[in-house]
Structures are given as C-alpha cells and as structure tokens.
Amino acid sequence: MRIDIAIEDAGKGDLDNCAKQAIDLLVGHGVIEQDNRHVVREIHMSWDAKLTGCRVRVESIEATQPGFQKLGDVANRVVENLTRARKRSA
C-alpha cells in the first residue's frame, strides 16, 4: 500500500517524526495491519501551507489486498488523533 501524509506547514518538526506518528496511529486504529515493508510499500510526505492539521491518505497498490473497505470513520479518527498529538508536541 501507499501512504500519503501532508502536514500543516507551521511550527517546528521533522517530516520523518510526523510519518512515524501517523503510521503508528494507522496501525493502532486498525487501518493497516502492520507497518513493515511487506505492507507499506511507499510513503510520500509533504508540508502544506494551506492545510490545518494533517491529511493522511492510504491507498491499496493492489486492488485485491483485503481489509481496506473500513477506512472512512477510522481514518477520520486517526487524523483527529494525529492533529491533537501534534498540537501537544508543538
């Protein structure tokens, strides 16, 4: 699968630290089963001056991969949790 993460371009922080937090939340909330190289094949990170908080998009590279129909509500919770975590660390 491919994970795209866009982070609000404000304050201090490193993209690689934000990636770790976001991916750990995806695993913790059951959006993805694991974060190893067999599951996560690509990660794209960017700063976005127009964004408040963050945006996380998980995309299956192979359409036959199971377990990716439940992204809606879970992905929203992940984004909310990541935004709260970033505000606490800022």
Read off the pLDDT band of 64 (50, 70, 90).
Answer: very low
Q: In the prediction, which pLDDT does 66 show? A: 52
Structural domain count, the chain: 1
Instruction: State pLDDT tens for residues 35-55.
Output: 888 888 889 999 999 988 888
Q: Render the burial of 31-49: b for 16+ CB within 10 Å, e for the rest.
A: bbeebeeeebeebeeeeee
Q: Is the pLDDT of residue 65 over 60?
A: no
Tell me the three state secondary structure of residue 7.
Answer: strand
Range of the domain at 42: 2-89
For residues 41 and 2, the answer to whether their CB atoms sit within 8 Å is yes
pTM of the model: 0.63
Over the chain, what is the mean pLDDT? 79
